[in-house]
Structure 1
Amino acid sequence: MRKLKLFFTGVVLIFVSCQSEEIEEVPPNIILFLVDDMGWQDTSVPFWTERTPYNDLYHTPNMERLAKEGMKFTQAYATPVCSPTRVSLMTGMNAARHRVTNWTLRKDSIQPMEKNHEALTFPEWNVNGLSPVGGDSKAVHAMPLAQALHDVGYFTVHSGKAHLGAVGTPGEDPLKLGFDINIAGHAAGAPESYLGTENFGNGKEGKEVWAVPGLEKYHGKDIYLTEAITQEALTALDSAVTGQQPFFLYMSHYAIHTPIMEDKRYFQKYLEKGIDSTEAKYASMIEGMDKSLGDIMNYVERKNIEDNTIILFMSDNGGLSAHARAGEPHTHNAPLSSGKGSMREGGIREPMLVKWPEVVEKESISKRQVIIEDFYPSILEMAGIDSLQTIQKIDGQSFVSVLKGETYNGVRPLFWHYPNEWGPSGPGIGAASTVRKGDWKLIYYHADRSMELFNLKDDIGETKNLTELNPEKLKELATTLSDYLKGVNAQMPIDKETGEVVEYPIQILTTNEE
């Protein structure tokens, strides 16, 4: 059942000049470096066809280093907000199927902003998140990625933000999801404080749910949270490296999520560039995250395991832009439109990098469209797991062939589904369903049944709604999206005025034709 088991118990015989040598294949170490709320433009690495002012503002030398040593994906996607992405990552399921469609925290409760929406009544989505056991109400039961790797001999380390299950549920604890080690992960999706001098929020009355757990050794010390969890992660890996056990490190940073708090190691340099203090704080958080990446890459080199270690870099949703930032809202991911919480490109397109020595061509670039649920089957394939009986249906498709340089000429639709309310307003923000197919993208808004059709090849900024100019393409994508939502039994809100479930997009078009 598990190919990887051969790596531990079997040998491969190679005959050379009538003599035999026994060579034991060693599975690769895998590092998944996930950043919170990092936008497509929050880096000095250009992911567009040209450099932008943001690429010149931010300083991420270790991302540049990773890009030079691996492959850059320019069309990689996550979901508009964090928990849906993280559950898709850990299950291989699209959010429409696993139904953890909004961010989780309180057990059995939808989010406060969803309770009194003026136009919609929202469905009872899986507010409790991911569950490793069956029967948990309002949770998706699945085989977590870490569990699959653990079961075939990987040493699994979770470091940083978890945000996979609500308070008081099994899914809130990474140790119940297949991780051998959990560093600072719990139910909350943001830290009360990034500062060791503030005990990372511990001790603040009324803020207990946001306080970062398990880092007491750093309390009172002048250390940033990003640095602390990185140090702890590398210490945790020592035993695996010493024992020559393959490891899976899920380096899941809280940064660069709010609260926007300066990493003083880098703050002053951005102030001296003359930018607003809030933006200088934000930039310092980005550079502190990048320093963590460099520390991990240096560790791998120092331990002489670089040749057998895969590093994947990704973000969980688009960069924050609707609130809490300085400057004009919805512009911080330009040329992309909008940001976190939005179905526009600024809310879902992510910076993605992969280094795999002797497999991935250095400084290569892929335009292949990939989405967050693709990481699950890809990582399993990297680990040599060629057959796995999962509880859940896997929606993701492995991108290992892309890493190996194979071409792909097909057109694969990608889907997003958010029958929820995030809070702020702005372009593409609100309850919606979306499909991208080739260069074309359709967004269907649940509240007013309006639609937006964009050609991303010609209009990456989504400035021209082509619904009236291209009704045939509109109908094609509306059909594709509707068929998918029906096929996965996706939840839809209820229209408060009519009391009816919101229609699929093709139903709206058909009605309008009549």
Structure 2
Amino acid sequence: MKTTLIACTLIATAVSVSAQFKDPRRTKPKPNIIVFLVDDMGWEDTSVPFWDRLTDKNKRFRTPNMERLAREGVKFTNAYATPVCTPSRVSMITGMNAAHHGVTNWTSPRKDVNADAPDNTLDSAPWNQNGFSPVKGIPHTVYATPLPALLKGAGYYTIHAGKAHWGAMGTPGANPYNMGFLVNIAGHAAGHPQSYLSEENYGNMPGKATAQAVPDLEEYYGTGTFLTEALTREALKALDEPVSRKQPFYLYLAHYAVHVPLQADKRYYQHYLDIGLDDAEAKYASLIEGMDASLGEVMDYLGNRKIASNTIILFMSDNGGLSLAPPRGGAPHTQNLPLRAGKGSVYEGGIREPMLVKWPGVTKEGSVASQYVMIEDFFPSILEMAGIQLYDAVQTIDGKSFVPVLQDPSVTDSLRTLVWHYPNKWIPDGGPGINYKSALRQGRWKVVYDQQQGTAELYDLVADIGEKRDLAAVYPEKTRSLLTSLSQQLQRWNAPMPVLKASGKALPWPENKR
């Protein structure tokens, strides 16, 4: 494989830090760390309930390995990402909130191409449309120190497998090697696969390949191996190198599943047809079960190699479940009920995620944490898990370590604020909470701000998880207070705002709404 050949040239670098495998200040070796990231997976797209009850949607899916991970670790019922993929991935690798790093929308694989849909009255916000860059001075990017580089510098063998989607082609952010990964398997600038099917060479058909064709997996062409399975096999092969040398590793296994195109994983597809799902939903469910099978293979590998007791697994999705229909089956924006809306929205359906963490010796088996956390929290949390206390990062970290929550799931902080900012137009026709929206959560309260209309909504998420009852008129002081906090934070970060075509001026901050 091309990736294996490139990785071999980098082994000398990994060996040079072998003396750091054991930190003299620690009583045992550094833990291995696996981030298992799923694309477009909704909060409810699993047989594991992330609410206080099992829903009918939970009963639809078969995810026995997520159930296994939940039994062995801690389940987060209030975990959040951003409405779309690239902002979440940049937040995870930099520790910055999306409003701060300015990569507020998904990035086109093509350099200098704005992915925003056109609008009659607004010009695009000046967002970082080329994504993240570990190199300073690249136009329309955010420059920051990437998490994998810090881990590699501390002696970790770093492996990337699957979807990258941090930066556009022709920029440093497109290449996982520039992030500090020693191995890259199938990661590039694109945000979804052209095809999951080996029969279609994962998109690499002569004369038909696009920027979304998945690189590097030539040995699987025509073998009947679904993309999710091929990525898992290659990731586990790559682990053999550090495991054999007893070197701590960081595996970032970022599946392309369950992003469109919805294609059937034939290992599981027929079951979902048999239980009455339509074709689109059966394909979607088969993608979910194939992803779960991958998680099981990873966990089995750890057990077979006798390293499970010193390996941390973090499971997360990058945004809420897709609720556009088509390509999903059913009525639009119903796929994540009781959560409102889906991918692209600042309502709960677009941002609330399934999150599981297992840290042997730290997390209590079968525990549940209700403290709300955000995807930028992964950056400081993983560094703390790795015992990296002093590090040089050029950016200011917005994330907060959730290690205290792993140690004691009853820990709560109702004063913390989480911010979402989407000054972009994702789809022409919009939808609930989609296009030009911001939001802030503090404790049980969440304010949603419409940038274009200058209006606000208030929800009590504890009493109303479906965001059905707008309480802004009932609690005007609470609404104003949260809007002020949102506005002040956006201004501190110099967050991008859409621009009125008529005047050439940016839309006002929430507290200065028209």
> TM-score if structure 2 supplies the norm length?
0.94
Deviation at 1:5, TM superposition (A): 9.7
Deviation at 1:120, TM superposition (A): 1.2
Q: Which amino acid aligns with 2:374?
A: I
- The whole-number CA distance in structure 2 between the counterparts of 1:421 and 1:279 is 26
In the other structure, the counterpart of 1:414 is 418
Tell me whether 499-508 or 141-150 shows the greater mean CA deviation: 499-508
Deviation at 1:410, TM superposition (A): 4.3
Contact 1:322 1:425 in 2 (8 A): no
The partner residue of 2:450 within 445, 453, 456 is 445
In the other structure, the counterpart of 2:439 is 434
Q: 2:280 aligns to what SS in structure 1?
A: helix
Deviation at 1:204, TM superposition (A): 5.2
In the other structure, the counterpart of 1:102 is 105
Q: Which runs of 5 or more structure 2 residues have no equivalent in the other structure?
A: 1-16
Contact 1:73 1:366 in 2 (8 A): yes
Deviation at 1:37, TM superposition (A): 0.1
Q: Which amino acid aligns with 2:164?
A: A
Q: 1:243 to 1:336 in 2, by over 3 A?
A: same
Deviation at 1:497, TM superposition (A): 3.7
In the other structure, the counterpart of 1:182 is 184
Tell me whether 128-137 or 63-72 shows the greater mean CA deviation: 128-137
In the other structure, the counterpart of 1:27 is 30
Q: 2:219 aligns to what SS in structure 1?
A: helix
Over the residues paired in the alignment, what is the CA RMSD in angstroms?
Answer: 1.5
- The whole-number CA distance in structure 2 between the counterparts of 1:299 and 1:420 is 42
In the other structure, the counterpart of 2:268 is 266
- The whole-number CA distance in structure 2 between the counterparts of 1:400 and 1:331 is 34
In the other structure, the counterpart of 1:405 is 408
Alignment map for 1:188-337 (pairs within 5 Å) = 188-203=190-205, 205=207, 207-323=209-325, 324-337=327-340
- The whole-number CA distance in structure 2 between the counterparts of 1:399 and 1:183 is 29
Deviation at 1:119, TM superposition (A): 2.3
Q: Which amino acid aligns with 2:478?
A: K
Q: Which runs of 5 or more structure 1 residues have no equivalent in the other structure?
A: 13-22
Deviation at 1:401, TM superposition (A): 0.6
- The whole-number CA distance in structure 2 between the counterparts of 1:251 and 1:483 is 36
**Matched residues, number:** 494
Alignment map for 1:73-222 (pairs within 5 Å) = 73-105=76-108, 106-111=110-115, 113=117, 116-203=118-205, 205=207, 207-222=209-224
- The whole-number CA distance in structure 2 between the counterparts of 1:390 and 1:294 is 34
Q: Which amino acid aligns with 2:78?
A: Q
- The whole-number CA distance in structure 2 between the counterparts of 1:171 and 1:284 is 31
Deviation at 1:11, TM superposition (A): 3.9
Contact 2:414 2:444 in 1 (8 A): no
Contact 1:317 1:350 in 2 (8 A): yes
Q: Which contiguous aligned blocks of 4+ residues in structure 1 show a shift greater than 6 angstroms?
A: none
Q: 1:264 aligns to what SS in structure 2?
A: coil
Matched, 1:63 2:66: yes
Contact 1:7 1:27 in 2 (8 A): no
Q: 1:493 to 1:98 in 2, by over 3 A?
A: same
Deviation at 1:409, TM superposition (A): 4.1
- The whole-number CA distance in structure 1 between the counterparts of 2:217 and 2:396 is 36
Deviation at 1:83, TM superposition (A): 0.2
- The whole-number CA distance in structure 2 between the counterparts of 1:450 and 1:256 is 34
Tell me whether 428-437 or 202-211 shows the greater mean CA deviation: 202-211
Deviation at 1:448, TM superposition (A): 1.5
Q: Which amino acid aligns with 1:468?
A: A
In the other structure, the counterpart of 2:395 is 392
Tell me whether 353-362 or 464-473 shows the greater mean CA deviation: 464-473
- The whole-number CA distance in structure 2 between the counterparts of 1:483 and 1:112 is 25
Q: 1:210 aligns to what SS in structure 2?
A: coil
- The whole-number CA distance in structure 1 between the counterparts of 2:23 and 2:339 is 50
Contact 2:316 2:353 in 1 (8 A): yes
Q: 1:148 aligns to what SS in structure 2?
A: helix
